Amino acid sequence: MTDAGGTQSPFLSAKRQPVSFFTRPSTHCLMLILIGSLLFIPFLGRIHLFDWDELNFAEASREMLETRNFMRVTVNYQPFWEKPPLFFWLQACSMKLFGVNEFSARLVNAVVGIITLLVVYGIGRRCFDPLFGLLWALAFAGSFLPHAFFKSGIIDPVFNLFIFCGLACAASVLTSGDRLKRRRKALLAGMFIGLAILTKGPVALIVVAVTLFICWAMARFKPFFSLKEMLLFTAAIVFVSALFYGIETALHGTWFIMEFIRYQIRLFRTGDAGHGRPFYFHFLILLFGCFPSSFFAVRSFRREAGYGEAQQTLNRLMAVLFWVVLVLFSIVKTKTVLYSSLCWFPIAYLAALHVRKLISGEVRWSRTLFVSFVVFTVLVGIAVAAFPLVMKRKELIMPLIRDRFAVACMRRPVPWSGAECLIGLGFLSLCTAAFVLIARRRIAAALAVLFIACAVCVQLTLIIIGPKIEAYTQGGPVAFYKKHSGEDEYVRSLFKSYADLFYGKKRPDDHPLSYDLEWLLRGKIDKPVYFVGRIRQDAKYGSPDYGLTRLAKEYGFVYYRREPEPLSAYACRRNRRWLMRPAFCSR
């Protein structure tokens, strides 16, 4: 079989390659496990968890362990209906094994990152060859955003893996002639989609349904699933998702489902939580955030001949999945970097397609691609190298910043040696070496150096520069919360945050109204309350109306304390008698 240019496709070559230790799939899997472990696991706990998502999810998992209620997700010990519990189950297990800390909160995604490399390698090897599988995995590990988010504590990497596995199993039903195998694949597809629904909710079903329908339409509505296969697929989705939704509805009615639907509608209609962005937001994020894979992937969107049925099916699935996710979440009013993260699978796949052709000589490295790579790598390298130098002399740029809060945060004395600029210079050096190799037609070595340069740049940035950035944005409040976490007091932020709950270690046996900020500010509190606000809030909460005692005002944040009202003599005697009861003393 030949491709559009009339040459034999290397993917479909019948010539058998000699098998050695280094070409065995088992060796490749061990190598990917080792690479993933070295890239994703070390230094997971070096940086505090970030507001909002990382701390939100980690707090929900911590509260599961505190209350031992694993069916109902809570935040601040109040029902949290925005997400189902599967990710929190996994995170709670990690915390049970390794303690409630940053490492255990992020370990789930590090393990998922390793599994993702193995999954894309396995699918790529079966549909094409082992080299393609390795390139697909390398494109994932060596791109900016996918690499960084495998070292985070957010839901999306787990959700994306389940969605992709479900779609891949569904697509393989089309290419299998064995009836038993088709039914097994349909069952697996339904189970993975059910797990995705347990991870992030019914949005998984929307993405899958639209993607499969468009693929079916592009195949001119040829038979997709038989009736039995469709029943197996649907039954698996219902059974797996009912492990939570069915039990929740049976115990508490349809309240959770209805609240979740209302929340999703609000995300479509409004820019929720300050995440409103322009329509083209995700286009830019994917193009520049998934560098270098995105630059290769652009060259693979055109339709080409020369592929077998399984390869054509996978090509169509990846292209449809990319556009469905991109268009769907561009329409949604609420936009974050994570919403389009499912596009990382097709981007890495399409990049591997083009890279494989470059290595085999089917296509030549174009001048446009070369220039775009040079321009972007130079810009990234200069930005990473210049940032530490700018922060070392931050007093020069402070007059240019109009946000009083941001300027105050930057005044925190965070040490910058200037040596941090070596990260950007090293990135530029490795990319320059890659470009020299490209000029010498050593494409395979050049691409390996390029992906390694991106992975190393992300790693060193997270390890060295990340803690310094975190010190500016939330270092003071987190230290304050941790300081008062072991005391019999309330700690609360006056702005939207989950750091006060997680690092303040809020207890489930606190006053029933302790979740209510207004009660903490004006109610009859039973113990002292510490508050953390931003300087722009000081005019409000520092006024005599609230009666708070200001403890400190530094680096963009203000710290307050409120004392409970003194008890009357009668109340003191009554409380003393109550505390001396045998039932209380025995607890």
7-63 pLDDT per residue, tens = 333 333 334 445 555 578 888 999 999 999 999 999 999 999 998 889 999 999 999
6 within domain boundaries: no
Of 363, 390, 416, the last residue of a domain is 363
In percent, how much of the chain has pLDDT > 70? 89
497 plus 358 within the same structural domain: no
Range scoring the smallest mean pLDDT among 148-152, 241-245, 478-482: 241-245
393 within domain boundaries: no
Which residue, 254, 267, 119, 251, is CA-closest to 188?
Answer: 119
Q: What is the pLDDT of residue 163?
A: 96
462 within domain boundaries: no
Q: How far apart are CA 64 and CA 130, in angstroms?
A: 42
Q: What is the pLDDT of residue 57?
A: 95
248 within domain boundaries: yes
Residue type, 189: A
515 within domain boundaries: yes
pLDDT band, residue 575 (cuts 50/70/90):
very low
Cis peptide before 292 (omega within 30 of 0): yes
Structure tokens at 483: 């300081």
Helix residue ranges, H only, 176-299: 179-200, 203-218, 227-242, 245-252, 255-269, 281-289, 293-297
pLDDT tens digit sequence for 409-434: 999 999 999 899 999 999 999 999 99
Q: What is the 3-state secondary structure (H, E, C) of 33-96?
A: HHHHHHHHCCCCCCCCCCCCHHHHHHHHHHHHHHHCCCCCCEECCEECCCCCCHHHHHHHHHHH
492 plus 358 within the same structural domain: no
Contact 260, 202 (CB under 8 A): yes
- Cβ atoms within 10 Å of 351's Cβ, excluding its own: 29
In percent, how much of the chain has pLDDT > 90? 57
- Cβ atoms within 10 Å of 363's Cβ, excluding its own: 16
Please report how many Cα atoms fall inside a 13 Å half-sphere around the Cα of residue 528, on the Cβ side. Answer: 12
Identify the burial level of 542 via C-beta atoms within 10 angstroms of its C-beta, where 0-12 means exposed, 13-18 middle and 19 or more buried: middle
Of 363, 388, 417, the last residue of a domain is 363
Could you tell me which residues are beta bridge partners of residue 490?
A: 529
Which residue, 404, 532, 520, 534, is CA-closest to 477?
Answer: 532
Structure tokens at 218: 């592009």
Q: How far apart are CA 18 and CA 3, in angstroms?
A: 25
Structure tokens at 56: 């939100």
Instruction: Count the domains in the chain.
Output: 2
Please report how many Cα atoms fall inside a 13 Å half-sphere around the Cα of residue 523, on the Cβ side. Answer: 14
Residue type, 554: E
Q: What is the pLDDT of residue 583?
A: 35
**b vs e for 91-104, b when ≥16 Cβ sit within 10 Å of the residue's Cβ?**
bbbbbeeeebbbbb
Q: How far apart are CA 49 and CA 52, in angstroms?
A: 9
Whether pLDDT at 74 is above 80: yes
- Cβ atoms within 10 Å of 408's Cβ, excluding its own: 18
357 plus 499 within the same structural domain: no
379 within domain boundaries: no
DSSP letter (8 states) at residue 484: T
60 plus 190 within the same structural domain: yes
Whether pLDDT at 228 is above 50: yes
Cis peptide before 255 (omega within 30 of 0): no
Coil vs helix vs strand at 275: coil
Range scoring the smallest mean pLDDT among 125-129, 223-227, 295-299, 460-464: 223-227
Structure tokens at 420: 């941090």
Mean pLDDT of the chain: 86
Contact 286, 326 (CB under 8 A): yes
Q: Which residue has the higher pLDDT, 334 or 147?
A: 147
Of 312, 332, 363, the last residue of a domain is 363
The pLDDT of 136-142, averaged and rounded, is: 92
Name 110's Cβ contacts closer than 8 Å, sequence gap at least 6: 36, 40, 41, 44, 150, 151
Dihedral (CA of 518, 521, 523, 524) sign: positive
Q: What is the pLDDT of residue 196?
A: 95
User: Where in the sequence is the domain holding 567, given as residue range(s)?
Assistant: 483-585
Cis peptide before 582 (omega within 30 of 0): no
Structure tokens at 505: 């270690």
9 within domain boundaries: no
Q: What is the 3-state secondary structure (H, E, C) of 518-556?
A: HHHHHCCCCCCEEEEEEHHHHHHHCCCCCCCEEEEEECC
133 within domain boundaries: yes
Contact 21, 27 (CB under 8 A): yes
Range scoring the smallest mean pLDDT among 63-77, 196-210, 304-318: 304-318
Contact 240, 198 (CB under 8 A): yes
358 plus 497 within the same structural domain: no
Structure tokens at 428: 């530029």
Which residue, 121, 174, 118, is CA-closest to 310?
Answer: 174
Whose structure tokens read 């390869």? Answer: 311
